[in-house]
Structures are given as structure tokens and as C-alpha cells.
Structure 1
Amino acid sequence: MTTLTTDTAAKAGPTSRTSRWGVRVWRPDRTSIAPTTTVIAAAVAGLLAALTLRAGTPSVAYPLAGIAVVGTVAAAGRPRPTRGHLVAAVTVLALLSVAAIRGAGWLVTLCVIAGWTVGSVALLGVRTWTGIGLAPAAAWLTPGRVTGWLRRRRRRGTGSAIRAGRIAGVVTITAVLIGVFGLLFAGADPEFGRLLGGAVPTVRTDDLSAAIVTGTAVAAVSLASAYLWRRPIRLDALAPAAGRRLPAWEWAVPVLALDLLFAGFVAMQVRVMFAGDGHVLSTPDLTYADYARQGFWQLCAVTALTLIVIAVAVRRIDLVVRRDRMLARLLLGSLCVLSIVVVASALHRMSLYENAFGYTRLRLAVWVVELWFGTVFAVLLIAGIRMRGALLPRIVLGSAVAALLAFAAVNPDGYIADRNVDRYERTGEIDVTYLRGLSVDAVPALDRLPEPLRSCTLIATSTRPDAWYEFNAGRARARDILQEWPADPLAVCVSPSAGW
């Protein structure tokens, strides 16, 4: 049906574990020398991050740090980037740019993790499930090699080599000159002084240790990325060997039984979905919470386990035999189609629950996850037509990243606030405590509420101005709204408890 057998493509013949790791996975490196441009670019990236990047504060500093890391990799020179590498770089920067647009810290965290994963996969060029799963951890294996990479450039320094001390000296002299002359110009013209003060990043004493850690971490990641670009780990070589092929009846019987079980459940769900709210309202002792909350998570588990079942089954099918291929298409294809209906059932349950109790981050997030599950099953169906799936691991990863970017484009906190305000206008019910905890992205929607509810939900929102490197579109929009109509700090608030 699909091929998760592509993991085996990277394997060629029996080798010992030591030789596989030492030669096939990551060849020993005793000669390579870090390019001067790479060292300088990494130092600049670390300095930029130390001055501008603040953990937990979404801002334009995130994509700037990403550009600095990508620049360090580019400074490493060979190999020449392919079109796929350029697409991956743009994708990583798009994910990091969410921090400049959205103010929801949890969403930015997800995008940073996704950016790290996409960047790692692109650097290493992995194509198998095993490689993609291990790629994000590759940078943690580089400290020893990167240290040797830097030491060798000192021992074998040439006339063009630049020692770390000289780099530090140039940076120090530059900073002193800018500081002295900047202060003089600022004293000569107050307006220029205000402009200079807003343009030059400052690090407060209480943030100094965090800034040093941040700068060091970004510089280290830049060097590790550059090294992996030049000498990647061949993680695809660690993919497990192909499983023993089974006679058709040994895998077909369990899959057929599972198909029949799914078909029975789907038949019941089709009837329930057409019944709509009436099924919940007419069934004794059944509430929206019972119907959606418990059933939804069980259906999520079914969806995830089905993917595992398909992966295991494909590894045991003898794709050389035409009869087995046709049988796999029929049984596994049916399982994928039925699974898509199960996904639809889970979404239907969540829709009923949200209509009754409102939207939350978790409820909206599981919508996106289930839709992504449905997309994966559709991809499996397409891959199963020709029983080939060499690109399947990357397609699945790409679909996950696309779903996350679409999720960010929807503006989840703003969408949640907007739907809850609509619900308040219909029913008069609202959870002030939960809405108050949303990010600045929710401010435009919450601004629609009447007083005192508006002030109750917006009172904790900061209107502090940002420096240029702290710019965030969500915070800027919220600040404009609250400066025009400030929240009343004396508003009397009554807040019901929030659901899951």
C-alpha cells in the first residue's frame, strides 16, 4: 500500500555496528578545518542573538537569528545547495517569522521546534523514517567534532587565518568606537540621542546571564549546523533491515478482521453523524462532554495506532508478488478510507462539543491534528496506488509543517476569542478567566465585548512600547487598540471556570 520500506534502501549488505557507525554513518574527521568566514559568521550570529533575542518574548529577533544561522551555513561553502535546500531554508525562516507576527508564546514554541526539525532534515539530507526521527538530535553529537574543527584551524593557521582573540579584539574596538562617538553625537543632538537609543540593543544587568547563554547557544548551533552541512551524519544507514516477508494469509487475515471492525464502527458513526445534536439529546445519560471528550481521545488513539498497523504490515508484505500487491491495495486501502471516516467522526464529536461549550486552544489544536491525520491517510492512499513511497517520509513531514503554518495563519488565539465572543452574543455565556489568559493576538476580538467584560479580559495586556528588535505585529496591534481605548482597572469581573 505504501512504503515505509524505504528505510531499507540505505542499507547494503551486512556490516558490523562499529564499521557502520564509523564509516557508513559518520566517517572519522581528522583533517577538516573551519573556514574563517564560518567562524566570523557564527560569532556575529551569537552576538546578534545575545543583544536582541529574549526567550519567551515573540519578536522579529527570532527570524533575524534564523537568518544569521542560515548565513553561517552558507559561509561554510561547499556543498552547493540544491533547490530542496533552498525550499527548506525558506520554510525554516517562515516558521521563525511567526514570532514576528503572532504573540502566542505556545504557538511560537511549536514553530521553533518545527523549524529545528526541518533544518536538521535538510542539513543531513535524510529520506527515511529513521533518519527523520533522529535528525533533530544530530546537533547534540557535534560538540567534540566542532571543537576539533576549530582547534585544527589554530594549529594549521595560515596568513589568512584569524584567531579568536583577534576577532574579539576587533569586536571590542568597534564597540568602543561606536560607544564613544555615539555618546558624543547624542549629547550634541537630543533627537539623535533618542534615535540612537531606540536603535542600539541594550542588555540589562539582570538579563546579562540569560543574554550570554542565548548568544553562546546560537553561536554553537550555527557552528554545529555549518559542520553538519560539510560533513553530515548518514542517519539513513541506521534504518532497520527489511522484515521477513510473510505469506499473504498471515498478514491479510488480521488486516481483514480490522477492516470489518472499522466498517461496523463507521456504519454506526454515519447514522450518528446524520442524527446531529439529536443523538446526544435523545440518548439517556449522554452529555456533550461524555460524547465528545471521551470518544474523541479514543478515536485519536485509533487513528495513531492505525498508522502503526499499516507501517508494520507494509514491512511484511512481499511486494514482488503481484497477488500480494493487489491484496495490499485492497485491504490497506480500505483501512485508510475507513480511517478517514473515523477522523470525520472525531471532528464531528469535537464540533458538537465546541458549539455547546466554546473554543479553547486544546480543542482547536486537536481539530488541526485530526485534519492532519486525515491528510496522512490520503497521502498513504495515493502512495499505495503504485506501492512506492520513497518520498513519503518527507511528504508527511512537509504536510505537518504546512498544517502548522496554516494554523499560525488562522491566528488561533484570535480565532478562539472571536468564536467565544460570538457565542456570548448568542447565549450570554462567557469564560472571562480563560479569555484573559490568551495572548495579545486575541485583543482585536475581545475589543468587541461590552464593558465591563472588555476591561476584565484586557486589563492584564501590556501597552509597553517595543524597540525595533522587539517588534511583534500582534503586540503592536493590541497596543494601538488599548491606547485608543484603555481598559478600566476598576472593572468588576465575575469569571466562571474554564473547561479543557
Structure 2
Amino acid sequence: MSEQPRPVPTTGWPTWPQRPPSATARALREFWALRSPGASTAVLGGCLAVALVAGPLTVGFTPGLGLAVVGALVWLPALPALVRGRRWLDLALAAASVALVAVVAVRDADWLVALCLLAALGAAAVVAGAARSTLAILLSGASWAVGVVRAVPWLRDGASQAAGGRRERVLSLVRSLALTLALLLVFGALFATADEVFASYLPSVSVRLLPGQVVVGVLALAVTASLAHLAGNPPSWSDLALAPARPARRLEWLLPVGSLAAMVVAFVLVQLGGVLGGHRHVLQAAHLTYAQYARHGFAQLVAVTLLTLVVVAVAARRAPRESARDRLVVRIALGVLCVGTLGVVASALRRVDLYVEAYGMSRLRMVLITGELFLAAVLLLVMVAGIRWRAAWLGRAVVLAAAVSVLALAALNPDARIVRYDAQAPLASDLDVSYLQGLSADAVPAMDALAEPLRSCLLSGVPVNAPQGWRDWSLGRSRAATVTAAATPAGAYADYACTQYFLATAP
């Protein structure tokens, strides 16, 4: 008798068919499973060169021209891949990132430099992640971080390919160079401490700065390698798209959007009296102080602008578009809403303008004005996308507009503009001298152009650190050092000048 096959024991639980992986899971799997050729010899050399020069150019120095040079060098290995891929908008974002970092070689204001560096990192992250969709742009920082991890085996494979069959010879050369460097450092330090004349001929090496230089070099290597790797092997999750939404009926869609557009237009018409009436409208018709009118209303109007952008995005997704008539209705309704919101932006700007006329200019008020102008640019870009009925380019264009807005703010030289504006009549009688003295070296040339005794009073309170070399050189600090070196008031005269100014402007 032939043996009967034994039955396979079962657990008694039903088995469910496994779901296929989602599009996001597939994109992540493809991203990690990518086996691209290793880095070329040129890219390897470029990454190592940037890593070697980044530390000595930046560590131990005030941010200046050295940091600007490093900010440009990190893009060089990625540039050929971006050009081959014809990623022109990404190239524009990369150029904006370089320009934003270069602000450290032009301006001295810490707050402005920090804002520019943050904007540069944001633009670079969008390029690194090849982000096109809104979700990909929001996650571009995480994409860049994951790209850094994936660039490590890419560099390793490139180094192995470059070594080829000469791996042992390359390793022997590396060991020999490391031993040579160690011997030169040890004996050079001993000879330098033994004889000052010999030490004067040696390049200055600070052991105290060496750990920081190593850390900065490693970071520069990671940034440069990840940008070059992701430029040639971008992630594909920007191609992921939401499932098409069910189009709403025309009345179902048009009623809320049209009602909101009508309310926005009505608000703008009411505000027209404030825009034209100016001070009289604020003090008489509205029964408000300048502070109440600007501060209380400005935040609400900014919120209205941001919420309108959200409404436009959702409405465009659910809008009926089967016929040409449907598309025309969508364009008109959303166009009226966007144009009305531009009027809201104008009202917010007018409120800040009235506040500045009464109380003077400040850094915060300049940032608020720049932010409102940026929102106006976003609305215009949304309207262009609606006319063309295509918005694949819109996300990166908004990021580029943000970078350009920050660059425009830096080009205005905010600290100098604050001095020139606030020192003019009728604000001079209520001038906040201590605030102006706390500005950066960028404001020194504007202070030098003022009349005495205000000129000497302000110059006495602004600290100026003259550049010590080309690595920490900055146009703002250089110009300020020239002014202060030629006409720095003595301490006693500066105090006398401040006293005379306060006496002259006292009520």
C-alpha cells in the first residue's frame, strides 16, 4: 500500500490575501534598492576637495567670504547632473541657495544672515529631493537626510572602482601619507616651540580649532556627496499623486466659493476708505489707535490670506472640469477670490505703513512687509497656474519666490534703511537711540551721513569688528571699519553728543 500524504496542520485561523504594497511603499523600496554606479573619479575628487577646505575656511572665523566660497563649492559636483537632466528650475533654486549663503560676505546683521542661511537650506533641500509636489516639498528635508545615508555606499563603490586592481597600492600610499603627516606635525611642533624664528616660517596650525575643522569637513563631505548623488539619482516619490477626487456639482462647488469671494470683495471695498483715508480714517472713523489698527488687524489678514490659499487648493481639486463652461466658471470664481485676496494683502500692508509712519521702521516691520509681498507673489503664481490649468511647477516656483524675497530683503540693507528712515522728521523727536545703537555694522555708513550731534551719538554705540583676513571679510564690516577708523568719536565727546541731541529734541 502506498502511503497517503499527511494533512498539513492548520491553525484554524482564516488566511487573508495580502494587499499589494502602496505606491509610497514601492517608491521607498525602489529608492533604497537603487544600485547606481559608484561616484566617478571627478566627483570623488570634488567631494574630498570641498571637505579639506571647508574647515580651514570657516572654523575660527566670523562668517564671511570663506563661508560664501564653501556654499558655492558644495554645488560643483552636482552641477553636471543637474544640467544633463535639464532641471532648469532646480538650477535656479541652486543658484538662489548659493546667493543666499553669499549674503554672509555682504551683510553683518546676525538676524539677516541667519534668515538667509535657513532659506538657503530650504532651497537646497528641495533640489536634493527633486521635490515637485507639495508633499515632497514639505518632506524635502527628510529626503535629503535619507539621501545622505544612501550616498555613503555610493562613495565607497566609487572609491573601489577608482582603486581597481591597485587597491593595495592605494592603501599603502594612504598609510604613507598619514605617517608622513603625523611625523611632520609632531616634529614641526617641537621645532616651532624651540625656536621662534623657525616657527615664523611655518603655516599656523591651531590644535584648538582642529576638532571643529574635522567636524565641518565631514559635514561638508556629506552635503556635497549627497547633492551630487541625488542630482543623478533623484527619488521618485515626487511622482506620487493623490487619487483623483470626485468632481463636485457646479452649484455644490460654486455656492461656497462664490460666497467667500463675495465676502472678500466686500471687505476690500470697505477697507478702501482706510487705504484712502489714512490717518484720519484710523483716528476718527475707526476710533482706534495706530497700534490697535495695525497689530490687531494685521494678524487676522495674514490668516485670511493663508486660509484663502488653502481654500483655492481644495476648490481646484474638487472643481468640475468636464466641459469648457465648467473650466471657465472655475477660472472666474477662483480668479475673483485671488484678486480680492490681493486687496486683503494691500490692506494689511497699508496698516503696517500707517504704523511705520507713526512709530518708525524696525526689523520686525520690515520682515512683515516682506512676508506680505511674498504672499502677494504666491497669489499671482496661483492665478498664472489657474490660467494655464497646470500647476506641476507651482511648488518649486513658490520656494524660489521665497528665496528671492529673502534676497531682496538682504539687498535692501535693512539696518541702514532703518537708520535713514527713523532719523528723518517728524520721527526724530521720538527717536529710539538705544534701538539704533543696537543695530549691526551695516548701519554705520548711514549713521555717518547724519548730522551732528546724532551722528557721533549713534556711532559710539555700534560695535564694529574689522575683518582680520579674506576668510572673515564682509562688505558691511569692511565699510563700517573704514568709517569708524576715520571718524570714531572719543568716549567723552560721544557722551556729550548724546546729551546735546536729547536736549535739542526734548519737548
TM-score range, shorter chain: 0.7 to 0.9
Cα shift readout 1:341-372 (whole Å, capped 9, x = no counterpart): 11111111000000111111110111111112
**Within 5 Å, which residues of 2 pair with 1:408-447?**
408-423=410-425, 426-447=427-448
Q: 1:165 to 1:136 in 2, by over 3 A?
A: farther
- The match for 2:238 is 236
- The match for 2:26 is 19
- The match for 1:132 is 137
CA distance in 1, matches of 2:347, 2:385: 24
- The match for 2:111 is 106
Q: 1:369 to 1:278 in 2, by over 3 A?
A: same
What is the one-letter code of the residue matched to 2:86?
T
CA distance in 2, matches of 1:14, 1:320: 32
Q: Is 2:84 the counterpart of 1:80?
A: yes
Q: Is 2:159 the counterpart of 1:158?
A: no
Superposed displacement of residue 288, structure 1: 0.3
**Within 5 Å, which residues of 2 pair with 1:190-339?**
203=206, 205=208, 207-283=209-285, 285-339=287-341
Residue pair 2:100, 2:117 contacting (<8 A) in 1 also: yes
Residue pair 1:272, 1:279 contacting (<8 A) in 2 also: yes
Query: Which deviates the most, 303-312 or 214-223?
Result: 214-223
1:405 alignment partner, SS class: helix
Q: 1:96 to 1:15 in 2, by over 3 A?
A: same
Equivalent position to 1:351, from 325, 350, 353: 353
1:33 alignment partner, SS class: coil
Equivalent position to 2:74, from 57, 60, 69: 69
Superposed displacement of residue 377, structure 1: 1.5
What is the one-letter code of the residue matched to 2:70?
A
Q: Please give the TM-score of this superposition, normalised by the length of structure 1.
A: 0.83
Superposed displacement of residue 404, structure 1: 1.8
Q: 1:133 to 1:383 in 2, by over 3 A?
A: same
Q: Kindly name which structure, 1 or 2, has the bigger radius of gyration based on alpha carbons.
A: 2
CA distance in 2, matches of 1:80, 1:225: 15
What is the one-letter code of the residue matched to 1:292?
A
Q: 1:187 to 1:235 in 2, by over 3 A?
A: farther
RMSD (CA atoms): 3.5
- The match for 1:29 is 34
Equivalent position to 2:100, from 95, 116, 133: 95
Q: 1:278 to 1:80 in 2, by over 3 A?
A: same
Residue pair 1:259, 1:331 contacting (<8 A) in 2 also: yes
1:352 alignment partner, SS class: helix
- The match for 1:9 is none
What is the one-letter code of the residue matched to 1:225?
L
- The match for 1:121 is 126
CA distance in 2, matches of 1:340, 1:172: 67
- The match for 1:60 is 65
Structure 2 unaligned blocks of 5 or more: 1-19, 503-507
Structure 1 unaligned blocks of 5 or more: 1-12
Q: Number of residues paired by the alignment?
A: 471
Superposed displacement of residue 17, structure 1: 4.0
More relative contact order, 1 or 2 (CA 8 Å, 6+ apart):
1
Residue pair 1:432, 1:453 contacting (<8 A) in 2 also: no
Q: 1:172 to 1:412 in 2, by over 3 A?
A: farther
CA distance in 1, matches of 2:270, 2:363: 29
CA distance in 2, matches of 1:297, 1:165: 65
Alignment identity in percent? 32
Cα shift readout 1:392-449 (whole Å, capped 9, x = no counterpart): 22322222222222211111121112211224x7532211222222221111112234
Q: Please give the TM-score of this superposition, normalised by the length of structure 2.
A: 0.82
Q: 1:457 to 1:353 in 2, by over 3 A?
A: farther
Q: 1:339 to 1:237 in 2, by over 3 A?
A: same
What is the one-letter code of the residue matched to 2:164?
T
2:288 alignment partner, SS class: coil
Residue pair 1:58, 1:104 contacting (<8 A) in 2 also: no
CA distance in 2, matches of 1:427, 1:63: 38
Superposed displacement of residue 169, structure 1: 5.8
Q: 1:230 to 1:55 in 2, by over 3 A?
A: farther
Superposed displacement of residue 487, structure 1: 4.1
Residue pair 1:130, 1:235 contacting (<8 A) in 2 also: no
CA distance in 2, matches of 1:368, 1:476: 27
CA distance in 2, matches of 1:475, 1:439: 9
CA distance in 2, matches of 1:447, 1:272: 38
Q: 1:29 to 1:95 in 2, by over 3 A?
A: same
Superposed displacement of residue 234, structure 1: 1.6
CA distance in 1, matches of 2:60, 2:123: 21
Query: Which deviates the most, 361-370 or 454-463?
Result: 454-463
1:125 alignment partner, SS class: coil
